[in-house]
Chain A
């Protein structure tokens, strides 16, 4: 394990984006500059359950919230670097491609600009669109407030 705090943070960032990106978008991002790299599967992709735990009020004693379906995969690319991915759901292709992207980004973190940034942008746009749609139906209760005063 050579992971230090400094190398963990950017990795958390790119994995948080890859874990939310659908398989087709990851594949499109990986094949933008040529064919997919060659990799071998070390483990998986395999689907299982993980227990999600929470704390009441954020600081209470831990309790089991419930189980969620997670698919994980570990691959090794030609340089020998291993990439790991855990994604929510049962999309094995997504887990495998996210693991490949993880390995490539560990070798060359500059890939974040070309590979992860467009995915992050698309996810942000999707969130914005959803927020706007919800905002359009917002009910303001100021009318009742003015009536009372």
Chain B
């Protein structure tokens, strides 16, 4: 334990509740950008990704950690108490610095689609980069989401994921203190 161990949420109960609400709002209104506070993330995690992990991950949810993010491994293990797995197929959450191959992650089964993985993916930023048109449950009218840092063929990757419904991966995009979510139900088109 020689690495410098940093603190988690400043106010564990209320910060986790606030972050849970932020994730819930983003999931129920796909593309809505919400923000989190109360945590200073260890490199290379963004504050939003670290807050989502503190809020959602625990000893019952195996986590697959991007090998590029291994510097944060000790912090995650200490504060979340989660088991970090190397087998992507066994994870409940995946933390990635760039979008991983979604077809290697558990997509759930028809009997229990809730056993699929949720991917917490860091992107460079919102409001710049490529624009996507989102539509589906939670959106009365199609909305636009501009994200920098998703792969070039993201729309076709997502089309395959969306087609598996009710199976499929849910995605939480994090940049700095802000996050948004793309649940499996949302339809994404390039603008």
A contact residues vs B (CB 8 Å cutoff): 1-3, 40-43, 46, 74, 76, 80, 82
B contact residues vs A (CB 8 Å cutoff): 1-2, 4-8, 12, 78-79
Give Cα A40–Cα B40 distance, bound, in whole angstroms: 14
Q: Are A2 and B7 in contact (CB under 8 A)?
A: no
Q: Are B7 and A82 in contact (CB under 8 A)?
A: no
In angstroms, how far is the closest chain B Cβ from the Cβ of A45? 12
Residues of B within 8 A of A40 (CB): 7
In angstroms, how far is the closest chain A Cβ from the Cβ of B6? 7
A40's nearest neighbour on chain B, judged by CB, is: B7
Give Cα A40–Cα B8 distance, bound, in whole angstroms: 12
Q: Are A80 and B4 in contact (CB under 8 A)?
A: yes
Q: Are A43 and B4 in contact (CB under 8 A)?
A: no
Q: Which of A1, A3, A76, A82 has the largest count of B CB atoms less than 10 A from its CB?
A: A82
Q: Which of A2, A3, A42, A46 has the largest count of B CB atoms less than 10 A from its CB?
A: A42
Q: Are A42 and B2 in contact (CB under 8 A)?
A: no
CB < 8 Å: which of A2, A3, A42, A46 contacts B5?
A: A42
Q: Are A76 and B1 in contact (CB under 8 A)?
A: no
Q: Are A42 and B6 in contact (CB under 8 A)?
A: yes
Give Cα A106–Cα B90 distance, bound, in whole angstroms: 37
B12's nearest neighbour on chain A, judged by CB, is: A46
Q: Are A43 and B2 in contact (CB under 8 A)?
A: no
Question: How many A-B contacts if CB must be within 8 Å?
Answer: 24
Give Cα A1–Cα B79 distance, bound, in whole angstroms: 15
Q: A40-B7, A41-B7, A46-B12 are in contact. Are A2 and B2 (CB under 8 A)?
A: yes
Give Cα A41–Cα B5 distance, bound, in whole angstroms: 10
Give Cα A82–Cα B79 distance, bound, in whole angstroms: 14
Residues of A within 8 A of B79 (CB): 43
Q: A42-B7, A43-B79, A82-B5 are in contact. List 20 more A-B contacts (CB 8 A).
A: A1-B1, A2-B1, A2-B2, A3-B1, A40-B7, A41-B7, A42-B5, A42-B6, A42-B8, A42-B78, A43-B7, A43-B8, A43-B78, A46-B12, A74-B5, A74-B78, A76-B4, A76-B5, A80-B4, A82-B1
Residues of B within 8 A of A46 (CB): 12
Q: Which of B5, B6, B7, B78 has the largest count of A CB atoms less than 10 A from its CB?
A: B5
B5's nearest neighbour on chain A, judged by CB, is: A82
5 A-B pairs with CB atoms under 8 Å apart are A2-B1, A2-B2, A41-B7, A43-B78, A80-B4
Residues of B within 8 A of A3 (CB): 1
Give Cα A1–Cα B2 distance, bound, in whole angstroms: 7
In angstroms, how far is the closest chain B Cβ from the Cβ of A81? 8
In angstroms, how far is the closest chain B Cβ from the Cβ of A16? 20
B9's nearest neighbour on chain A, judged by CB, is: A43
Give Cα A139–Cα B181 distance, bound, in whole angstroms: 74
